[in-house]
Amino acid sequence: MIETDEGAAEVFNYIEAHIRDRLKKTGDQTDES
């Protein structure tokens, strides 16, 4: 599905930033892991 490495890097960076933001928000709450 990935057409170019550059596109893949953009998607990866977007997902990584999204996950990091989610973790940052959940980190403010109690740790459930």
Rounded to an integer, what distance in angstroms lies between the CA atom of residue 12 and that of residue 17? 8
Q: Is this structure's pTM higher than 0.85?
A: no
Dump pLDDT digits (tens) for 5-31: 888 899 999 999 999 999 998 777 665
DSSP the chain: ----HHHHHHHHHHHHHHHHHHHHHHHHS----
- Note whether 2 and 8 are within 8 A (CB): yes
Look at residue 3 in the predicted model and tell me its pLDDT: 67
Rounded to an integer, what distance in angstroms lies between the CA atom of residue 16 and that of residue 31? 20
Judged against a pLDDT cut of 80, whether residue 2 lies above it is answered with no
